[in-house]
Amino acid sequence: MSILTQLFLSFIKVGLFSVGGGYAAIPLIQNQIVDVHKLMTMSEFTDLITIAEMTPGPISINSATFVGTRLNGISGAILCTLGCIIPSFIICLTLAHFYYKYRNFSGVQTVLSALRPAVVALIGSAGLSILLLGLFGSEKITSFSSIRPIETVLFLGCLYLLRKYKLSAIKIIFGSGIVGTIAYFTMNLLII
């Protein structure tokens, strides 16, 4: 079996067994790429995770692209990414089909109604951890004095703009990046 076919199969495994998204996939990818196929050293893999955290997009897609590009350029990237998408595609398509077939039954609605508050809570907790990461630089607060002023002002400003003027998410995220970076560099200049 060629190495590309093996990798394709490896990423199918990653796609199939990483339930819960993102971080659940990291040990699986590490196992396939570093331990089984020895395509990367552990320190390269750590770099990959750093890049994946800094760039948009799911970690498994990011690493599939990274490993694939290294091995066989763009066609490698496409093949590996396909591998980690195919299981999701088939499973979710089936679930979507049944969901839309049965969602209007009142019994199904009763059961789903109990699920929705939990989903709201999960989104809320994801928001809280990214807020702590943004304002304190870590998800665990050591002391309130380590709060970063620029990020705090940005967060409050963005939230105000979102609530009051209903700006789109992309404008807010992009805008916060530009304003925040300018603020950081001006502050550095002033201090020096």
Partner 1 sequence: MKEKKHVLWELFKATFMLSAFTFGGGFVIVSLMKKKFVEELKWLDEDEMLDITAIAQSSPGPIPINASVILGYRMCGIVGSLVAVLGTALPPMIIISLISYFYAQFRSNTVISTALMVMRAGVAAVIFDVVINLAKNVIATKRVLYICLMVVAFMAKVLFSVDAMILILACLGIGIADLIITLTKNEKKERVKEGANI
- Burial label for 105, CB within 10 Å (0-12, 13-18, 19+), is exposed
Q: Is 113 in the site for partner 1 (CB under 8 A)?
A: yes
Q: Is 190 in the site for partner 1 (CB under 8 A)?
A: no
User: What's the rounded Cα separation, in Å, for the pair 168 and 162?
Assistant: 8
Q: Is 124 in the site for partner 1 (CB under 8 A)?
A: yes
Closest to partner 1 by CB, 1 or 90:
90
Residue 186 beta carbon to partner 1: minimum distance, rounded to whole angstroms: 12
Closest to partner 1 by CB, 35 or 177:
177
* Member of 104, 117, 140, 192 binding partner 1 (CB under 8 A): 117
User: What's the rounded Cα separation, in Å, for the pair 171 and 180?
Assistant: 14
CB-CB contact of 138 with 147 (8 Å): no
Q: Is 97 in the site for partner 1 (CB under 8 A)?
A: yes
Q: Is 107 in the site for partner 1 (CB under 8 A)?
A: yes
By rule CB under 8 A, what count of residues binds partner 1? 96
Closest to partner 1 by CB, 10 or 18:
18
Per CB under 8 A, contacts with partner 1 among 162-181 are 162-163, 166, 168-170, 172-181
Q: Which among 46, 6, 56, 54 is positioned nearest to 26, based on CA atoms?
A: 46
User: What's the rounded Cα separation, in Å, for the pair 88 and 85?
Assistant: 5
Per CB under 8 A, contacts with partner 1 among 27-66 are 47, 50-52, 54-62, 65-66
Residue 127 beta carbon to partner 1: minimum distance, rounded to whole angstroms: 3
User: What's the rounded Cα separation, in Å, for the pair 182 and 179?
Assistant: 5
Residue 129 beta carbon to partner 1: minimum distance, rounded to whole angstroms: 8
- How many CB atoms neighbour CB 32 within 10 A? 20
Q: Is 3 in the site for partner 1 (CB under 8 A)?
A: no
Contacts of 70 (CB under 8 A, 6+ apart): 39, 76
Report residue 70 as tokens. 């290294």
Q: Is 185 in the site for partner 1 (CB under 8 A)?
A: yes
